[in-house]
Structure 1
Amino acid sequence: MNSDKKKKERVILVGCQFDGNEERFEQSMTELDGLVRSVNGEVIATLTQSRKKVEPSTYIGAGKVEELAALTEELEADLIVFNDELTTGQVRNVHRETEVTVIDRTQLILDIFATRANSREGKLQVELAQLSYLLPRLAGQGLALSRQGGGIGSKGPGETQLETDRRHIKRRMTDIERQLKTVVEHRKRYRERRKDNHVTQLALVGYTNAGKSTLLNRLTESDILEEDMLFATLDPTTRHLRLPSGLNVILSDTVGFIRDLPTALVAAFRSTLEELAEADLILHVVDSSHREYEQHQQTVQELIQELDVDHLPQLLIYNKEEKRTGAFYPDHRFPSVEMSAYNPDDVDKLAEQIERELIKQMLPYEVDIEPANGKLLSSIKTNTIVTSLEWMEETSLYKASGYVKEDSPLSTILRAIKNEQE
């Protein structure tokens, strides 16, 4: 990624509309523009075409290729970005006609992920996704893969000589998979330990730039990077959250989703996304001010289904209410809240709603606890949702009531105490 002090790369966007859905196509091109800008590219022109099907040799028709070549020369473009995944031949043929580097939407997204990954795991996952994408495209790519100058589309896996050594790439992929297996096993043990301790777990999901990091910061008083940018944060984050009742939960952030998220990335990040499988509640954050919020929401739901976690309870969080101007229609299939992450009252209401959703999965309890049993009193304050805790003068006992996870050891203890008292 270029620094702001360096000259921005001059980029031409190219897209084809096939399905007749003009509004969705325009939104997709706008999103591509945002992706380019997020890696400091300057979009100098956009070339679009309506076609019934892809032209096999160049993706766009011969006339459009000529138009693109003329536009590239006239505007002195550095890079052409197509809003779809291209074949090796298409990249080669368009590059031959235009004489500038040609990349597709998938390579651009991979480039952004490579720029933003900070953790060792994240970097390995992105490198594996890049190599999986590039390996079948090596033949004939030539200049398109030889961008060692540091521009957009060049955030390749460093010293690996992509364009010359398939065997080296395959060895590198095997090595990465071995390293990731170790990381995945560690993550799995950590998840199992949390499960054994019956910790309540929440998972944040959402379309990129929906406001997940901002929400995580407001709920947990953390300092995760917040920017109005696609894929501003990439590495998964886990924080402790204390709900209004005192219940301690784990809140995990996940990588932002996007329409047509590259298959290689979904596969590479599957281990990270498996955090969702252990969640007691999925918090699905939606930018309700975006014109395409319904499409974004549907994209995330499809990925949730793909990851086989659509059976888990969900709370829809319609964020950025302060920016909303047009008509808004919440999805009534799920419980939902409408809010702004920048409004402290809204954040408090969200925390209360999270408790109400968790209660639906819990068992009610009501027991009398001796004051000498301080350990149990402390435990119910942090590991259950306490709705009432009163000191009863006539019995010299604490009367506690609330909700507890059915499968937790604490539930068994509270049942045993209740049975004794009856």
Structure 2
Amino acid sequence: MANYDRERERAVIVGVIFPHQTRAQVEEYLDELELLADTAGADVVCRVYQERDKPDPAFFIGRGKAEQIAKIVEEEKIDLVIFDDDLSGVQIRNLENIINCKIIDRTTLILDIFASHARTAPAKIQVELAQLEYLLPRLTGKWRHLSKQYGGIGTKGPGETQLETDRRLIKRKIAILRRKLGEIDNQRKVQRKGRRDIFRVTLVGYTNAGKSTLLNVMANTNVYVEDKLFATLDATTRVIKFSPTKKVLLTDTVGFIRKLPHHLIASFKSTLDEIIEADILIHVVDISAPNFREQIKVVEETLEELNSLDKPTIIAFNKIDKLQDRSIIHTLAKEYENAVFISASRGVNIQALKDKILQLIDDHYVEITGKVNVSNPEAMSVIYKLGEVLDVKYDDDNYITLKIKVEKRHLPKISAYILT
């Protein structure tokens, strides 16, 4: 959410058009950067573009363009300039020698938003670790934009004291945070181990695609939702009952975004493990977004990085109520095998999504028939806990014949008690 507890800042955003990009693409990228700035608490006053073959080593943009931005900053009383690409410490220092305000890049802005939205201790640790790891290679003798002479966006978390902190202290802090995250990761593994007998479905998608709203609708719960980027950071899990004998764990995860910082992905590993260990993924897509195909690609690239791209996946095209032209639904239905078209906010086609989940779950089941000794209470307990008994026939000699529907992964456990 935007930071209303402080005065909103005035910002200039900068995009560079390289040969492999079109101006229209970069304009879309700056649209997203403006949304990020708004989420962080800044109003974008002006956009600046420059076409370049490659970044300038000293300024990223040309010196002349930097001087042009300096004039805009002075005339419009700008508080900060935000670049859509990562800057080195040297580039920031050189730019600040010309432009008299804070200079931050896209990654710093995203980390700032994460710092604002972190509510739990694990989330705060993960964000601080990502901030420090991003800062470490960018330390310079004059790291002015993180000094105490500036406040506001890009200066939260560890940034405010970096003038007094050297590399050795930062590395020590990083080691401490990694150790704490390791402890949290072990705790979560123990928690997940206790849930292994339940089918796990995880929501993934681009930030602000509507994952938390969908979780609320399906679980009839009240997870925090806001129409802002990265409103959700911590994984939230709820039990969804499809029938008295069939239930799943549905988990909402942090949204992805273009150029999601790699340090952030690494730091949020314990949270993203919910994706890695899921049985089914629901990829939530904002079908009303003009660039939703690129957003799909970004999510798929991130899933590939997590080695989770080959998991059974339902693609839930959300926000169909916002579509002006619905003819695209027919096209996408042919293009994507497991596609469902929904409106989470209005509860449209949610049952169709549940049916699709059940269909994929059924693909994971087999039916077996065999004899069980009724005098073995452990056998009956395991069978009824891990399987669904479809039919019972009473035989002689303390045996019954059971027809059981069981998940393939639980088959070895149940088979140990059955005589076929």
What TM-score do the two structures reach when normalised by structure 1?
0.87
CA distance 1:258–1:345, change in 2 (3 Å): closer
Deviation at 1:67, TM superposition (A): 1.1
Matched residue, 2:332: 330
Q: Which moved more, 1:265-274 or 1:326-335?
A: 326-335
**Once the 2 structures are TM-superposed, how far is the Cα of residue 97 of structure 1 from its aligned partner?**
0.7
1:4 alignment partner in structure 2:
4
Tell me the residue number matched to 1:58: 59
2:276 maps to what in 1?
277
> For residue 242 of structure 1, what is the aligned residue in structure 2?
241
**Is 1:244–1:351's contact at 8 Å kept on the other side of the alignment?**
no
**1:161 shift after superposition:** 3.7
Q: Is the Cα–Cα contact under 8 Å of residues 2 and 151 in structure 1 kept in the other structure?
A: no
Mean CA deviation greater in 377-386 or 151-160: 377-386
CA distance in 2, matches of 1:401, 1:224: 40
TM-score (norm 2): 0.88
**Distance in structure 2 (CA, Å) of the matches to 1:375 and 1:227:** 48
Name 1:26's counterpart in structure 2. 27
Shift of 1:310: 1.8
Residues 94-150 of structure 1, C-alpha deviations (whole Å, 9 max, x = no match): 111111010000000000111111111111111000000011111134321114754
- Structure 1 partner of 2:396: none
Structure 1 stretch displaced more, 29-38 or 19-28? 19-28
**2:43 pairs with 1:42:** yes
User: What is aligned with 2:310?
Assistant: 311
Q: Is the 8 A contact 1:316 1:337 kept in 2?
A: yes
The equivalent residue for 2:116 is 115
Measured after TM superposition, the shift of residue 14 of structure 1 is 0.6
Alignment partner, residue 86 of structure 2: 85
CA RMSD of aligned residues (A): 3.1
Match of 1:364 among 363, 367, 371: 367
Structure 2 CA distance for partners of 1:225 and 1:135, relative to 1, 3 Å: same
Distance 1:411 1:289, change over 3 A: farther
1:205 alignment partner in structure 2: 204
**Across the two proteins, how many residue pairs are aligned to each other?**
410
Map of 2:418 onto structure 1 = 416
In terms of mean alpha carbon deviation, does 146-155 or 170-179 score higher? 146-155
C-alpha displacement of 1:375: 11
Q: Which moved more, 1:301-310 or 1:14-23?
A: 14-23
Change (3 A) 1:415 1:291: farther
Query: Quick check: 1:246–1:381 contact (8 Å CA) kept in 2?
Result: no
Contact preservation (8 Å) 2:392, 2:403: no
Deviation at 1:342, TM superposition (A): 2.6
Native 8 Å contact 2:13 2:81 kept in 1: yes
Q: 2:11 touches 2:44 (CA, 8 Å); kept in 1?
A: yes
1:404 corresponds, among 400, 403, 406, to 406
* Structure 2 contact 147–161 (Cα < 8 Å) conserved: no
What is the SS of the residue equivalent to 1:167? helix
SS at match of 1:223: coil
Q: Which sits farther off after the overlay, 107-116 or 181-190?
A: 181-190
Shift of 1:374: 12
* Inter-partner Cα distance in structure 1 for 2:251 and 2:202: 5
Residue 365 of structure 1, CA deviation: 5.2
Shift of 1:211: 0.5
SS for the counterpart of 2:188 is helix
Where do 5+ consecutive residues of structure 2 fail to align?
A: 394-399
Q: What SS is found at the alignment partner of 2:418?
A: helix
In structure 2, what is the Cα distance between the partners aligned to 1:246 and 1:373?
22
With 159-168 and 219-228 compared, the bigger mean Cα shift is at 159-168
Letter in 2 for 1:347: I
Q: Distance in 2 between matches of 1:348 and 1:410?
A: 33
Q: Secondary structure at the match of 1:45?
A: strand
Q: Equivalent residue for 2:288? A: 289
Opposite residue 223 of structure 2, the aligned amino acid is I
Indicate conservation of the 8 Å contact 1:9/1:79, yes or no. Answer: yes
- Counting aligned pairs with the same residue, the percent is 38
| SS of residue matched to 2:285 | strand
Matching residue of 1:394: none
